[in-house]
């Protein structure tokens, strides 16, 4: 099992534990359902982030760059330092190619080392 798969499995397990421990039997079903929706959205965001980071690490242009990736409700924020506008464009292209990405923000990327 690769590093990415282990991280994804860990996220899934932690999310399930949070769901199970936060659902009390006396809570209304709607409240428990909301918690499951929030956990599923968090899990989706984590998967998107992990997939983008893996693609960046495997990209010959970006693997030496310091690009940070965060995802919230499908909105990806790219930040860090790259050496050119071409690198910024490539990072955006990678993020756009990932299923579940709704929007990409790049205001935090600094060009130049």
pLDDT of amino acid 65: 83
pLDDT of amino acid 33: 61
> Residue-wise pLDDT tens for the chain (113 aa)?
566 677 777 777 777 776 666 655 556 656 656 665 665 667 788 889 999 999 999 999 887 788 999 999 999 999 998 888 999 999 999 999 999 999 999 877 777 65
pLDDT of amino acid 64: 78
pLDDT of amino acid 25: 57
The C-alpha atoms of residue 15 and residue 20 are separated, in whole angstroms, by 9
pTM for this entry: 0.67
Q: Which residues contact 39 (CB under 8 A, 6 or more apart)?
A: 15, 18, 19
Alpha carbon dihedral 96, 97, 101, 104, in 10-degree steps, equals -10
Domain edges within the chain: 3-111
pLDDT of amino acid 9: 73
**Domain 3-111 carries which CATH code?**
1.10.287.4300
User: Nearest Cα to 99, choosing from 57, 58, 44, 39?
Assistant: 44
């Amino acid at each position: 099992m690769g590093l990415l798969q282990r991280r994804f499995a860990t996220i899934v397990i932690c999310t399930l534990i949070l769901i199970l421990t936060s659902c009390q039997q006396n809570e209304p079903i709607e409240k428990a359902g909301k918690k499951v929706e929030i956990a599923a959205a968090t899990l989706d965001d984590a998967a998107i982030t992990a997939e983008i980071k893996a693609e960046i690490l495997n990209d010959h242009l970006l693997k030496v760059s310091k690009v940070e990736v965060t995802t919230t409700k499908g909105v990806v924020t790219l930040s860090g330092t790259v050496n050119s506008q071409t690198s910024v464009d490539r990072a955006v292209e990678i993020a756009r190619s990932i299923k579940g990405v709704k929007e990409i923000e790049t205001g935090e990327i600094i060009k130049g080392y």
